[in-house]
């Protein structure tokens, strides 16, 4: 099973690496990081560089496409070869997936027209403006399209996808392998649970970066 994870300048690392860590453990997984051109791609905060080992031209097809989010999504969905590639790949994928604001890229590629989808909680209105039907859920399946909420939600999405692809037993073995028994120290991971002042803080701040300087 070929899995293509799109990288682009200023993507958010965990959006891509959470699902990578789960999906790469699927039996027979051939997982590749793909960008407009081969080579170095820098994350949103400039503190990390990953290598895209394939260019979009080299990957005309994949069974699973995963599009991460991050502040760079604005440029990525402005148009151009990457957006064309997403649109074209989607035609033959078995699963087309996104994490966080990666769904805005899918929407801009025309893939989410009228489809139920999710995104980072701060981006749901924008998702609606781009033609999708936004849903405040952590993981949303609509046919072959699977979208996850913000950043860390890609791990939950990938485990659900693993179960769909390879069965519950395999997904559970992967979950145990990565010891995913989450114990967050606070119950503050969604706007419905976090203290109101924290929600306001993030709403007022430059989106998705959450730098509390």
Read off the tokens for 133. 């039907």
Q: For the CB of residue 22, give the shortest distance to a second copy in the complex, in Å.
A: 9
Judged by CB under 8 A, the stretch of 58-66, 80-88, 103-111, 188-196 that binds a second copy is 188-196
Q: 10 Å Cβ neighbour count for 166? A: 18
Q: What phi, psi does 16 have (nearest 5°)? A: -90, -40
Contact between 88 and a second copy by CB under 8 A: the answer reads: no
Where are any strands of DSSP class E within the chain? Answer: 2-6, 30-35, 39-42, 49-52, 54-55, 64-67, 95-99, 116-117, 133-134, 139-142, 145-148
Query: Per-residue x/- mask for a second copy, residues 5 to 44, rule CB under 8 A?
Result: -------xxx--xx-xx--xx-xx--xxx------x----
Residues 6+ apart with CB under 8 A from 190: 121, 149
Among 114, 185, 196, 204, binds a second copy (CB under 8 A): 185
Q: Is 100 tagged catalytic? A: yes
Among 86, 140, 150, 165, binds a second copy (CB under 8 A): 150
Among 1, 59, 83, 198, binds a second copy (CB under 8 A): 198
Among residues 17, 34, 41, 100, the one annotated as catalytic is 100
């Amino acid at each position: 099973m070929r899995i293509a994870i799109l990288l682009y300048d200023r993507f958010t690392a965990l959006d891509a690496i959470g699902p990578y860590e789960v999906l790469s453990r699927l039996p027979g997984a051939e997982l590749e990081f793909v960008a407009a051109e081969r080579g170095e791609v820098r994350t949103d905060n400039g503190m990390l560089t990953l290598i895209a080992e394939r260019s979009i031209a080299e990957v005309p097809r994949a069974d699973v496409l995963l599009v991460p989010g991050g502040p760079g999504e604005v440029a990525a969905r402005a148009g151009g070869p990457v957006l064309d590639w997403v649109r074209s790949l989607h035609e033959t994928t078995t699963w087309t997936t996104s994490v966080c604001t990666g769904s805005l890229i899918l929407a801009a590629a025309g893939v989410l027209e009228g489809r139920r989808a999710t995104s980072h909680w701060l981006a749901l209105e924008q998702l609606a403006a781009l033609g999708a039907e936004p849903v405040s859920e952590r993981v949303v399946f609509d046919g072959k399209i699977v979208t996850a909420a913000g950043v860390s939600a890609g791990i939950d999405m990938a485990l659900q996808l693993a179960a769909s692809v390879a069965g519950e037993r395999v997904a559970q073995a992967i979950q145990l392998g990565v010891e995913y028994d989450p114990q967050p120290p606070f119950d503050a991971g969604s706007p419905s649970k976090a203290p109101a002042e924290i929600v306001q803080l993030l709403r007022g701040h430059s989106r998705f970066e959450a730098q509390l300087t």
